Amino acid sequence: MALDANPDDSPVPLHRLQFPVRLAYAMTINKSQGQTVQHVGLDLRTPVFSHGQLYVALSRCTHPRNIKVLYGGQGQQTNKATNVVFNEVFRGLNV
């Protein structure tokens, strides 16, 4: 929104550019466990850390229409989220 001062009221020309700002909150997937929220936004450009985190993130929202997901890089389109498993965790286990 651009605002200009009236030249009759001010001896110095004034032009101000104002950006609309809205209050927002952010939290990690772990912090969101057990909570219910109206709107969920997920940044999946980096993979989720462990099994079940994607489910937790998506299941916090009250309605599926209120979920927004950012995934892939510029120009990339995908419908997959990588679920990372660290093999080092399983070394030395007798499974």
Domain boundaries, the chain: 23-90
Q: What is the pTM of this model?
A: 0.56
CA atoms within 13 A on the CB side of 36: 3
The string of pLDDT tens digits covering residues 23-64 is 988 898 889 989 999 999 988 877 777 768 888 888 999 999
The string of pLDDT tens digits covering residues 77-90 is 666 666 666 676 66
CA atoms within 13 A on the CB side of 73: 0
